């Protein structure tokens, strides 16, 4: 009797299981994207395929002609790719505010994930930063980096001193706390104070902390020109850190800054190729502009002026006994950047009227030498600047490499505020429009790989950057004929065009070319 009951129960359970499986198979998907040219993020050319999404995941890629969905997107004539990953973004502060947390300019570019706290700057307490970001329900995914400059400042302040064993131990503890909080690696900016006060040994020791986590070391290198150690030696520093700490090393926003070092790209490419062939994991990222963005003080003023912080800087600027040395070094730095007409003000809180003007224009208006004008401005506060300092041949040489990722280095600012670098609005579409479609520097699949599969692999961003079953549904659908950046150096506050649909974790963040308020982003953990 019991045996018969058990058999009947087993049969009933089997029937229910089969029925459930059949029902699941007949369940409609949330979204099916049909007839698109799929670029899967691997670097392979596109193939025609359909993409099905259920919840926050891609669940099928292939011929899904019989599939049913709550929402069907006709991608005929369009390209379908993984959402873009910006590996060097200054959007963190903005995404933590109610006004900017939607990430509208980012979504209009197709960016679905950003890595924040670059250049060694940002909060040391990543748990607190995560809470602030999550409270705003960001429109894009956010990955955090541990900022070396902030870590150093927390331990040693703005002092130009060598870190002793005690200071190193305290910094290592802070880096470990950040990695335990889910950070993707360590960022540094030895070009900037206080990171400039560090030595290579310090950077190696702190990078050894991130190595067991699979984290990266990404650096705004010590010298992108010939300010101090020189461009080659600065790249070699990243190579050394990667080798000795056994981490992936990244030369972030790689460039040859200024006429003194134009043409060095081929030499640097050969150097990186050689160490990669020897087994070291070295990569770079890059934005597709001939101008960089930085501050007036770091671009023109020597680092000894910044020792001790803002009050000490002001005192040194007022000390006329230091003026001859200061002017001499500033003039050399101005020459490195091509002169005062090649520095354009982005933002300057003490006097917004200079925003959009060049240093030369401001100096002429005030009847001052450009160096004297810069000193007068810096005494009241630092200014954001756009610096026109790169050569197109170098940009193209770096871009062609299989180990080059894409980044924006862009801020997230209120529309209409200041005159920011156009990279805040146009980086990813610009790379596609200018360097793929118009100038044919790289093929489309290479550009997409540099924005998706490559950064996901380098930073260990799990289940993102590829378009496959099981991956998170970060997806862009774009019209190659219409993709373009509209932001310019003089009129930057313009959203990019051409992204027809963007999904972030399965939620439609751009629908029919219009940014929604879906807020599908998450703060990611490594």
CATH at residue 139: 3.20.20.140
Cis bond upstream, residue 194 (ω within 30): yes
Of 366, 387, 408, which marks where a domain is finished?
387
Model confidence at 518: pLDDT above 50: yes
Q: How many domains does the chain have?
A: 2
Predicted pLDDT of residue 10: 37
Residue 407 sits in the same domain as residue 493 = yes
Residue 52 is assigned to a structural domain of this protein? no
Torsion over CA: 253, 431, 450, 106 (sign):
positive
Calculate helix-pair angle for 370-380, 323-336, nearest 10 degrees: 110
- Long-range contacts, stretch 372-379, CB < 8 angstroms, 24+ apart: 374/296, 374/300, 374/301, 374/330, 374/334, 375/317, 375/326, 375/330, 377/296, 377/348, 377/350, 377/351, 378/296, 378/297, 378/301, 378/313, 378/317, 379/314, 379/317, 379/318
| Rounded Cα distance, 291 and 338, in Å | 11
- Nearest C-alpha neighbor of 411 from the set 114, 24, 83, 129: 114
Residue 325 sits in the same domain as residue 450 = no
Residue 26 is assigned to a structural domain of this protein? no
pLDDT in tens, 430-446: 999 999 999 999 999 99
| Distance from chain centroid for Cα 11 | 56
Predicted pLDDT of residue 27: 64
Residue 212 sits in the same domain as residue 286 = yes
Pull the structure tokens for residue 143.
Answer: 């990955």
Model confidence at 137: pLDDT above 50: yes
Torsion of CA 309, 132, 114, 126, to 10 degrees: 60
Residue 439 is assigned to a structural domain of this protein? yes
| Rounded Cα distance, 162 and 165, in Å | 10
Strands 84-86 and 111-116: parallel
DSSP string, 143-209: EE-EEHHHHHHHHHTT------HHHHHHHHHHHHHHHHTT--EEEE-TTSTTGGG--HHHHHHHHHH
Residue 284 sits in the same domain as residue 312 = no
Range of the domain at 382: 294-387
> Residue 83 CB: number of other CB atoms within 10 A?
28
Of 387, 415, 446, which marks where a domain is finished?
387
Residue 219 sits in the same domain as residue 348 = no
Sheet holding 141-144, edge to edge: 84-86, 111-116, 141-144
Model confidence at 487: pLDDT above 50: yes
Residue 413 sits in the same domain as residue 481 = yes
pLDDT in tens, 459-476: 999 999 999 999 999 999
Residue 244 sits in the same domain as residue 102 = yes
Residue 17 is assigned to a structural domain of this protein? no
Residue 344 sits in the same domain as residue 257 = no
Residue 462 sits in the same domain as residue 403 = yes
Residue 257 sits in the same domain as residue 404 = yes
Residue 16 is assigned to a structural domain of this protein? no
Residue 357 sits in the same domain as residue 378 = yes
Residue 381 sits in the same domain as residue 408 = no
Mean pLDDT for all residues in the chain: 95
Residue 53 is assigned to a structural domain of this protein? no
Of 367, 387, 407, which marks where a domain is finished?
387
CB-facing half-sphere around the CA of 494: CA atoms within 13 A: 14
Sheet holding 343-347, edge to edge: 291-295, 384-388, 343-347
**Per-residue pLDDT averaged across 321-333, rounded?**
98
pLDDT in tens, 264-287: 999 999 999 999 999 999 999 999
Strands 185-188 and 216-219: parallel
Residue 23's pLDDT band (boundaries 50, 70, 90)? very low
Model confidence at 8: pLDDT above 50: no
Residue 185 is assigned to a structural domain of this protein? yes
| Rounded Cα distance, 161 and 212, in Å | 28
| Rounded Cα distance, 375 and 225, in Å | 22
Residue 31 is assigned to a structural domain of this protein? no
Under 8 Å between Cβ of 472 and 521: no
């Amino acid at each position: 009797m019991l045996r018969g009951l058990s058999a009947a129960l087993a049969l009933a359970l089997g029937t229910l299981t089969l029925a459930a499986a059949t029902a699941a198979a007949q369940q409609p998907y949330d979204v099916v994207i049909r007839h698109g040219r799929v670029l899967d993020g691997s670097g392979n050319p596109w193939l025609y395929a359909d993409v099905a999404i259920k919840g926050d995941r891609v669940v099928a890629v292939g011929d899904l002609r019989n599939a049913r969905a709550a929402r069907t997107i006709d991608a005929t004539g369009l390209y379908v790719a993984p959402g873009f990953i910006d590996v060097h973004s200054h959007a963190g502060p903005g995404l933590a505010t109610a006004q900017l947390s939607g990430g509208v300019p980012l979504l209009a570019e197709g960016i679905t994930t950003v890595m924040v706290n670059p250049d060694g700057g940002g909060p040391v307490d990543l748990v607190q930063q995560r809470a602030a970001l999550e409270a705003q329900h960001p429109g894009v995914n956010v990955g955090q980096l541990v900022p070396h400059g902030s870590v150093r400042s927390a331990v040693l302040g703005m002092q130009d001193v060598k870190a002793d064993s005690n200071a190193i131990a305290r910094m290592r503890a802070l880096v470990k706390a950040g990695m335990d909080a889910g950070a993707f690696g360590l960022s540094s900016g030895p070009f900037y104070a206080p990171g400039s006060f560090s030595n290579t040994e310090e950077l190696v020791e702190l990078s050894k902390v991130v190595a067991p986590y699979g984290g990266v070391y990404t650096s705004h290198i010590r010298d992108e020109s010939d300010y101090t150690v020189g461009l080659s030696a600065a790249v070699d520093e990243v190579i050394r850190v990667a080798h000795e700490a056994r981490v992936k090393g990244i030369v972030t926003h790689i460039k040859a800054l200024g006429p003194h070092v134009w043409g060095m790209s081929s030499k640097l490419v050969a150097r990186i190729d050689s160490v990669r062939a020897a087994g070291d994991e070295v990569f770079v990222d890059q934005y597709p502009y001939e101008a960089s963005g930085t501050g007036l003080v770091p671009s023109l003023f020597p680092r000894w002026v910044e020792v001790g912080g803002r009050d000490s800087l002001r005192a040194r600027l007022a000390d006329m006994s230091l003026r001859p040395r200061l002017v001499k070094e500033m003039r050399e730095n101005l020459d490195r950047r091509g002169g005062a007409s090649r520095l354009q003000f982005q933002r300057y809180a003490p006097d917004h009227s200079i925003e959009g003007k060049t240093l030369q224009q401001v100096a002429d208006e005030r009847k001052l030498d450009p160096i004297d004008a810069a000193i007068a401005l810096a005494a009241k506060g630092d200014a954001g600047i756009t610096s026109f300092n790169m050569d197109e041949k170098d940009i193209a040489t770096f871009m062609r490499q299989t180990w080059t990722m894409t980044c924006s280095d862009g801020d997230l600012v209120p529309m209409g505020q200041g005159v920011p670098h156009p990279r805040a609005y146009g980086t990813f579409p610009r790379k596609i429009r200018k360097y793929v479609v118009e100038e044919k520097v790289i093929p489309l699949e290479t550009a997409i790989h540099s924005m998706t599969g490559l950064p996901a692999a380098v930073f260990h961003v799990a289940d993102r950057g590829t378009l496959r079953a099981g991956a998170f549904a970060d997806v862009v659908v774009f019209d190659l004929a219409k993709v373009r950046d509209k932001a310019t150096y003089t009129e930057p506050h313009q959203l990019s065009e051409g992204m027809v649909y963007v999904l972030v974790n399965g939620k439609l963040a751009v629908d029919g070319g219009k940014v929604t308020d879906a807020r599908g982003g998450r703060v990611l953990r490594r």
